[in-house]
Amino acid sequence: MASAATTLRGIEQPGLYWKPGLFGARPTWTKEPSLDKITELAHNHLKLPQDELVDLRPFAEGAFNKLYEVICSKGQFIFRVTLPVAPEVKTRSEVATLSLLHERTNIPVPEIIADNDDLEDDLGFEWILMERMPGRPLREVWHKMSWLHKELLVKQIVGFMVQLYYLKLPSIGSLYSEESIFDWDRSRNYTVGDAVTQAFFIDDHIQQSIYRGPFASSQSFVNAHMAFLQHDITKLQHAEGSDGYDSDDEEQAEGMSEIYAKLQKVIPTIFPAANPGDEDEETILFNGDISFNNIIVSPSGDLVGIVDWECTTTVPPWHACQIPQFLDGLLPTSTTSQSQPPLPLTPEALADKDAVQFHHEQLQAYELTCLRTFFVEEMRRQCPEWLVYWQEGAKKRDVLIAIEECGDDSQWTLINGWLDAVLEGREPKKGLLEAMWTPVGE
């Protein structure tokens, strides 16, 4: 195995520390954003009267962000402060993505009031000020929604994904625009640049001198993921004496190296190299986080909007055509699908909170099983070619899953088994993702 990249990019990331952990590095804040500065910025950019007081409240916290609700005479807004996991490019790409969605689709997304990707500003963090979409996350309303509302919501999501399918882009990476986003009536020019995904910035990945886009072909995109995997293996091989060193690092490196070697053989068979002179692959905007948290609905379940478009990428149809996350069945239950509804709870069981919770999970599993079928049938009606890419792209998506899950030793048996089947010319009994989420014994 060749050595990993040794030249570092020297990117400053003030306020961020990647804390080593059992399941990988976790981003942590080394300083808190100033609430006074946030209030001042919101006040200024909303152009409020000088003597008006702004009500600022903590709203939510994600892996990379702290969100604050801004309440004032002009309405309710969200001020989102982000850790510099991918300085400049993460914020710029999200702003451009939301701008394009406003301009060229009818997907309901938040309107941006102001943003800043300069870590040298008064706040010391990147931030976005946007409208707060009225409503509540789907997860809070799901069990109160009628079946009709659930089907209608899925149908609307299908329609949005069809719009994205036909919104073709020129290469693989993430979206950017050099023009102001604040004139919503003006058509802007968009370009594809650095890919902003966790694989490209997690832990010390943002510092590595590994090409990150735009990519002309699927193989070059996958090879970049392999370069980061190679870096991680090399890092483990030289981990002794470093921060977060574990005595099992050598064994971990050996297991990952075995998978890496097999992937090197598999990738050229699944991702043929582009010929000289070939045009860049056409791509589609892909948001892998259309989740129960990010779909906003009214109390009755009417769709209000879809939030959180950070780390949206422009990828080929084999990658972009995926069942949206809220329907993908990866639930914290004993099974990923359920063909029959659970039996109604007895009066005694209704008094047991654990029994009620388990019943809700079983009912949700059954409903999502039905709704996935409905999604597929509705997509077949609206955009049958989307389904072709979804079905035929499974093996390509499984290659990326093998790379991304390579560091999880609990998945090594499944990954090696899948890779061995491909190398031997056998069709794996199950796709890799399906196998990972199938309960033991099934």
Mind spelling out the 3-state secondary structure of 67-115? EEEEEECCEEEEEEEECCCCCCHHHHHHHHHHHHHHHHCCCCCCCEEEE
- Backbone torsions φ then ψ of 256, nearest 5 degrees: -70, -35
Q: Within 321-352, where are the H helices? A: 347-350
Greater confidence (363 vs 266) lies with 266
Secondary element (H or E) of residue 129: strand 126-131
Residue 333's pLDDT band (cuts 50, 70, 90): very low
Given a cut of 90, is residue 364 above it in pLDDT? Answer: no
Residue 93's pLDDT band (cuts 50, 70, 90): very high
Across 159-222, the runs of DSSP E, i.e. the strands, are 174-176, 191-193
Domain boundaries along the sequence of the chain:
16-134
- The single residue listed with the structure tokens 């994205």 is 164
Pair 421, 246: CB distance under 8 Å: no
User: Does the bond joining 341 to the residue before it have cis omega, within 30 degrees of 0?
Assistant: no
Secondary element (H or E) of residue 227: helix 218-237
Over residues 297-330, the pLDDT tens digits come to 999 899 999 999 999 999 999 999 999 999 985 4
Q: Report the mean per-residue pLDDT for the chain.
A: 89
In terms of Cα–Cα distance, which of 151, 163, 162 is closest to 375? Answer: 151
Residue 24's pLDDT band (cuts 50, 70, 90): confident
- What pLDDT score does 279 carry? 77
Given a cut of 70, is residue 367 above it in pLDDT? Answer: yes
Q: What is the CATH T-level fold of the domain 16-134, as seen in this structure?
A: Phosphorylase Kinase; domain 1 (3.30.200)
The DSSP string of 257-307 is: HHHHHHHHHHHHHHSPPPPTTPPPPPBEEE-TT--TTTEEE-TT--EEEE-
Residue 337's pLDDT band (cuts 50, 70, 90): low
> Which range, of 242-256, 384-398, 401-415, averages the lowest pLDDT?
242-256
Given a cut of 50, is residue 442 above it in pLDDT? Answer: no
pTM comes to 0.89
Over residues 279-299, the pLDDT tens digits come to 789 999 999 999 999 999 999
In terms of Cα–Cα distance, which of 130, 99, 133 is closest to 115? Answer: 130
